[in-house]
């Protein structure tokens, strides 16, 4: 932490070089950004933030407190990248079926920090991107995929208010029976 204050560029390079292998380690890294802004996200460009996300994609869970706060920050800074991150994690669900520790998206009682996609100008685009992915997604265990996709949708886009109802009404006009 001393380095983040006195040599933020060096701290940035060290963080980007890390091989994050556990949820605990991810939380320790996220705290640098989210607790008193010891390491500012403003030092990182979109691609570098994307590299940080890539380091988290294979972790069994991304629901630790500081990680969730970091993901919430990413949801306004790199919303399309974060959506693709969660889609990649959802696509992994089938291959990790026996792994009861894997949770693609924090949801339900594990959700501590709501993602802020709604606060971006891309909110409708992001929903459409997610729905298009969901339409074309396939898995050996369709029930498991749909269960996780429903949980992810709620975690990313809720609450279901007038704006969401309006989006659903528009979607109904182009939806298919399978949707």
C-alpha–C-alpha distance, residues 83 and 58, integer Å? 15
Reply yes or no on whether the pLDDT at 1 is more than 60.
no
The pLDDT of residue 179 is: 65
> pLDDT tens-digit profile of 25-79?
999 999 999 987 788 999 999 999 999 999 999 998 899 999 999 999 999 999 9
Average pLDDT of the chain?
A: 87
pLDDT > 90: percent of the chain: 49
Nearest to 104 by CA among 72, 144, 141: 144
Both ends of the chain: CA-CA distance in Å?
49
Comparing 12 with 137, the larger pLDDT belongs to 12
Reply yes or no on whether the pLDDT at 170 is more than 80.
yes
> pLDDT tens-digit profile of 115-135?
999 999 999 999 999 988 988
- pTM comes to 0.88
């Amino acid at each position: 932490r001393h380095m983040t204050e006195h040599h933020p560029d060096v701290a940035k390079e060290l963080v980007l070089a890390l091989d994050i292998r556990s949820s605990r380690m991810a939380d320790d890294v996220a705290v640098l950004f989210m607790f008193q802004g010891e390491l500012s996200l403003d030092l990182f460009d979109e691609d570098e933030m994307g590299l940080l996300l890539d380091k988290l994609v294979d972790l069994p869970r991304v629901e630790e407190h500081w990680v969730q706060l970091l993901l919430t920050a990413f949801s306004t800074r790199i919303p399309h990248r974060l959506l693709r991150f969660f889609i990649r994690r959802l696509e992994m669900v089938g291959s990790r079926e026996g792994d009861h520790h894997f949770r693609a998206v924090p949801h339900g009682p594990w959700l501590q920090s709501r993602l802020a996609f709604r606060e971006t100008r891309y909110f409708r685009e992001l929903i459409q991107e997610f729905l298009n992915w969901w339409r074309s997604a396939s898995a050996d265990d369709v029930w498991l995929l749909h269960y996780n996709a429903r949980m992810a949708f709620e975690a990313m886009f809720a609450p279901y208010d007038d704006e969401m109802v309006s989006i659903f009404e528009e979607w109904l006009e182009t939806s298919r029976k399978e949707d």
